Structure 1
């Protein structure tokens, strides 16, 4: 990952390298949590309730429809993050004239102030990859390469989160929060029943699975909510986790175009595609930022 001398003496992302050996085990863990949850919600509780009749059946139908719909979107978004390359620097990439004037190394000059950049500032260069670095590109020590608009390396998806899969990662967080919240709410009466004096129907195995599914989904709902709020604030400011850490409290940021345009930089302009892990062909053609190499900036920065 990108380092800037003494300011990066303690890198909050360094812990990722210690988890390099986990690999696809994390994918199996995610699928394991999904499997336990599916067994508890569909096979143990609300599937059998379909034949109960009355209000119980209606509630079961609604829960199962919502559960499966959110599960499809969750898994679609998750595997889109896993299997989508976050963005690599093209071979023999060279910056344009505008980028040479506007990009300094590291995250200083015209990116954070109204002072004219020093003409002697060099183009950003990665000594590990021995190549020039496009704007907002950072080196990932886990992947061992430069990643376009790198946000962070996520062990849960066994991949970097960058320009080409950041939207998919956000949708994964969004649908995970909705799904885990739904499961927590739907299993809450069953969880409370564990602490009542009455007899609880079901086998010991099904009861244990229900209990475990409730605890896991409650924990994930609370933790994912924190990450979701953090990334919403990052999208609103058109910055990444790494950039927010490196620029610290400096108020000036050349890529902050306003909340609407900042949102479109990640999700595209076609509203039909906002909530699915994909982009329209028109957005890909008309929005260079989605390719991770060229980003529009504030006019007052470009004029400097």
Structure 2
């Protein structure tokens, strides 16, 4: 029985290794979908319509402006997720100590019960047996990355990276702009898609028509799937939790990090409104909001007091 369990664990880690190699392919797939969409919308349909004159030209200008604006924000957000480290545990990390009580700060305690720690007499300290190091609050080990990630939400194959404390906002913006972009493309190509089923002669070469058809189907599929993920993550942000925590805190009736929707939102997006819709933070927020750095998180005082 033990041997089969060991083989199963070995196979899981081999699968995690395969996911790392798959990630590069997924980036090419994303860029491929963007390329097909750009060719169908801009080069085949609305680009040529610019010279038509009248209402058609006006609509083409409007569609192209919206499309390129959203595409720029989508790519900016996407590559911000890809190239931003989600946050790792600093070398020689130690939990904060309450000087008055001489105990570990409640924010550094285990949120979900006792864990195996280097000191069996203090089960409040979170410890990773795989990394052999202490873990900050809300930190989890990623088997794909092979390390602990601050406020880990999940490992995303589409971005070849973990989604954690330092790039979660960028991931949400990527979902947001992807949904808007795919919806705009779907609506813009809808008349051309419906033309396939009409008795009218459709202008364009067979390859142009096939690309338009494919772009419409791909963008509609992405719009519907991303919408579901976007709704799920909106609910997570409103409760100040992550995908992993939402599953684990089922046994916890009261969530200490739920500070109200407004403050929960600010814990991810910051307080400066002009930065809310771009993948960046203001220097002011980075200085005065430790939660954006992934190591310290404010919590409800009444729930902290109940632990003592």
TM-score normalized by the length of structure 2: 0.88
Unaligned runs of 5+ in 1: 1-8, 110-118
Deviations 1:5-42 (A, max 9, x none): xxxx9xxxx97665332131111110000000000000
**Aligned-partner SS, 1:85:** coil
- Taking the TM superposition and a 5 Å limit, the aligned residue runs for 1:10-49 are 19-49=19-49
Tell me: higher relative CO, structure 1 or 2? Use CA pairs within 8 A at least 6 residues apart. Answer: 1
- Asked whether the 8 Å contact 2:109–2:124 carries over to 1, the reply is yes
1:101 to partner: Cα distance: 4.1
Aligned pair partner of 2:142 in 140, 143, 146: 140
Deviation, 1:197, is 1.2
The residue number in structure 2 matching 1:108 is 113
Tell me by how many angstroms 1:120 deviates.
Answer: 4.4
Alpha-carbon distance in structure 2 between the residues aligned to 1:222 and 1:19? 24
Deviation at 1:168, TM superposition (A): 0.1
2:152, 2:165 within 8 Å by CA — same for their partners in 1? yes
Distance 1:225 1:249 in 2: 28
Q: 1:194 to 1:243 in 2, by over 3 A?
A: same
2:78 corresponding residue in structure 1? 78
1:277 aligns with 2:279: yes
Q: CA deviation at 1:247?
A: 1.2
After TM superposition, the runs of 4+ consecutive aligned structure 1 residues lying more than 4 A away are: 14-18
Counterpart CA distance in 2 for 1:270 and 1:106 is 30
Aligned length: 286
CA deviation vs aligned residue, 1:86-133 (integer Å, no higher than 9, x gap): 000000010002582424436238xxxxxxxxx843300001111000
